[in-house]
């Protein structure tokens, strides 16, 4: 039995900086990781997907440039695209290992499980510590379909290992992973079919968001099968066939991508041995200060049902570090923003109008189409809209939905206003540079004066 001051289970974007900071303070830190260092973001999520989309969107923009008078013939070197994706991923992961090692963190490359609240075992090692932090994240949910388990299934865990572009890719799920990868593969040259069991894409967002993205995807040749269930999945002679409830049969060349949600990586933790409660879906139950139901055990990131974004996991590390130092932080004490990296992008912050009204705000929303923004017209990016939600009693900005070119960047302006407690009147009075996409934000706020 070894002794440590801190045990971290999982090397995601919250666990790594926490382990490093604790080690640099002179504490003995042991980090368990069963897979590649860096967690989902570096290995299966943000880093490889955005590297792939860099190539895909370059190709897509060129093909769709005819309205600008540009007629391009695009040739995609898929092998080179994927080599670049994997080289960036490897570089980032190696950087994580160097960072941990230089800080003095002991890395145990094994799956970890609890023997009791203060004892963790893995790789033939038992470690005891008064402080344990769980940062194991989530993994892809596999739909429960007949014969699906026998198929050579793609998920975000293995899709970036592809050597050859699938001629036809079938995707289960119309959430952000399915849409980003679906549009990306289509722009790289694959015939893509997205099967979604809701009547609109990104069904957790406002209806207009899904409508805009459906139009954008159709321009890229993506086939959408909405409000559709799969009755049967068959794999034979290198072909995957899906039979839909409406009688259609879709065939892909061994390329079926499951992107229908996430499940927590808690099955191997042995949570019950430590007295750690899990909810009905298997997520770790925590309080406002990240404490689990076991003494001395904390959980951060999406394994604890925090929003599944890298920046949230990283902020969870900062919150927990502050709490451990005696400061007053809670699990949701910052304004939350996020983005979807389709083209057009979706930038979101705070509440939608429906959410604001449900929470009791006397709220109002205004919307500005991208087709009314000079920069969008000039650059040919007129698909989408900007929407602002405000509190009519306080003038505070409650939230925003931006759908347009580089909306993931533009939304930070509104996030900063909200974090500072600013109002829409301050935004309306701001003088933004012309011609820019950001210039439209004061124009959007001015709609509230009408």
Higher pLDDT, 232 or 96: 96
Which pLDDT value is given to residue 325?
A: 95
Residue with tokens 């996030």: 415
Q: Please provide the average confidence, as pLDDT, over all residues in the chain.
A: 95
Question: DSSP string spanning 360-394?
Answer: T--EEEEEEEGGG-HHHHHHT----EEEEEEETTT
pLDDT above 70: residue 3: yes
Q: What secondary structure does DSSP assign to 330-348, as a single string? A: -TT-S--EEEE-SSSEEEE
Long-range CB pairs of 420-425, under 8 A, 24+ apart, other chains included:
421/396, 422/396, 422/397, 423/390, 423/394, 423/395, 423/396, 423/397, 424/388, 424/390, 424/395, 424/396, 424/397, 424/448, 425/395
pLDDT of residue 49: 98
pLDDT confidence tier of residue 236, bands split at 50, 70 and 90: confident
Q: Would you place residue 149 in the very low, low, confident or very high pLDDT band (cuts 50, 70, 90)? A: low
CATH number of 2-139+263-324: 3.50.50.60
370: phi then psi, degrees, rounded to nearest 5: -60, -30
Structure tokens at 405: 């070119």
What CATH number has the domain spanning 148-260? Answer: 3.50.50.60
Per-domain residue ranges for the chain? 2-139+263-324, 148-260, 337-449
User: Does 278 have pLDDT greater than 70?
Assistant: yes
Q: Could you tell me the CA-to-CA distances from 52 to 55, 57, 64, 84, 364 in Å, in that order?
A: 6, 9, 18, 8, 38
Summarised one tens digit per residue, pLDDT across range 110-136 is 999 999 999 999 999 999 999 999 999
Buried-exposed string 139-152: b where 16+ CB fall within 10 A, e elsewhere? bbbbbebeebeebe
Q: Return the CATH superfamily for domain 337-449.
A: FAD/NAD-linked reductase, C-terminal dimerisation domain (3.30.390.30)
Quickly state the pLDDT bin for 436 (edges 50, 70, 90): very high
Question: pLDDT at position 342, please?
Answer: 98
End-to-end CA distance of the chain: 70
For residues 259-274, give the mean pLDDT: 96
Spatial CA neighbour of 436 closest among 383, 378, 386: 378
pLDDT digits 0-9 by tens, 375-433 = 999 999 999 999 999 999 999 999 999 999 999 999 999 999 999 999 999 999 999 99
Q: Which has more pLDDT, 349 or 254?
A: 349
Distance CA 147, CA 234 (A): 7
Q: At residue 197, does pLDDT exceed 90?
A: yes
Each residue of 301-354: pLDDT tens digit? 999 999 999 999 999 999 999 999 999 999 999 999 999 999 999 999 999 999
| pLDDT value of position 383 | 97
Q: Is residue 147's pLDDT more than 70? A: no
Please give the order of strands across the beta sheet that includes 106-108: 106-108, 29-32, 6-9, 132-134, 297-299
pLDDT of residue 145: 73
pLDDT per position as a tens digit, 164-184: 999 999 999 999 999 999 999
The answer to whether domain 148-260 and domain 337-449 are alike in fold is: no
Confidence class for position 146, pLDDT limits 50, 70, 90: low
* Average pLDDT of the residues in 82-86: 98
């Amino acid at each position: 039995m070894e002794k440590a001051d801190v045990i971290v289970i999982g090397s995601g974007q919250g666990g790594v900086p926490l382990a490093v900071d604790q080690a640099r303070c002179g504490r003995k830190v042991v980090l368990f990781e069963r897979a590649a260092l860096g967690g989902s973001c570096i290995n299966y999520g943000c880093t490889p997907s955005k590297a792939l989309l860099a190539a895909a969107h370059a190709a897509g923009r060129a093909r769709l440039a005819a309205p600008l008078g540009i007629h391009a013939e695009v040739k995609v070197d898929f092998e080179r695209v994927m080599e670049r994706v994997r080289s960036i991923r490897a570089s980032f992961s190696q950087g994580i290992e160097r960072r941990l090692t230089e800080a003095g963190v002991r890395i145990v490359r094994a799956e970890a499980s609890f023997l009791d609240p203060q004892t963790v075992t893995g790789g033939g090692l038992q470690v005891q510590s008064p402080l344990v932090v769980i940062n194991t994240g989530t993994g892809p949910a596999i739909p429960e379909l007949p014969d699906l388990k026998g198929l050579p299934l793609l998920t975000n865990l293995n899709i970036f290992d592809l050597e050859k572009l699938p001629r036809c890719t079938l995707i289960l799920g119309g959430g952000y992973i399915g849409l980003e990868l679906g549009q990306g593969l289509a722009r790289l040259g694959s015939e893509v079919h997205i099967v979604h069991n809701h009547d609109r894409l990104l069904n957790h967002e406002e209806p207009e968001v899904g409508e805009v993205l459906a139009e954008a995807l159709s321009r890229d040749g993506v086939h959408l099968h909405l409000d559709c269930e799969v009755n049967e999945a068959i794999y034979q002679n290198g072909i995957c066939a899906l039979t839909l409830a409406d009688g259609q049969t879709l065939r892909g060349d061994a390329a079926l991508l499951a992107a229908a949600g996430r499940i927590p990586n808690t099955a191997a933790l042995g949570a019950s041995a430590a007295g750690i409660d899990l909810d009905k879906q298997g997520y770790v139950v925590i309080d406002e200060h990240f404490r689990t139901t076991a003494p001395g055990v904390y959980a951060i990131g999406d394994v604890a049902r925090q929003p599944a974004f890298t920046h949230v996991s990283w902020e969870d590390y900062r919150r927990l570090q502050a709490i451990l130092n005696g400061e007053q932080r809670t699990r949701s004490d910052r304004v939350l923003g996020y983005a979807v990296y389709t083209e057009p992008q979706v930038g979101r912050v705070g509440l939608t109008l429906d959410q604001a009204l449900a929470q009791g705000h006397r709220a109002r929303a205004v919307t500005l189409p991208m087709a009314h923004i000079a920069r969008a017209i000039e650059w040919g990016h007129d698909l989408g809209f900007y929407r602002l939600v405000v509190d009519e009693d306080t003038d505070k900005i409650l939230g925003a939905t931006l759908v347009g070119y580089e909306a993931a960047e533009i939304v930070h302006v509104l996030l900063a206003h909200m974090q500072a407690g600013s109002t829409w009147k301050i935004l309306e009075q701001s003088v933004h540079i012309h011609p820019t996409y950001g210039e439209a934000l004061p124009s959007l706020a001015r709609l509230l004066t009408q």
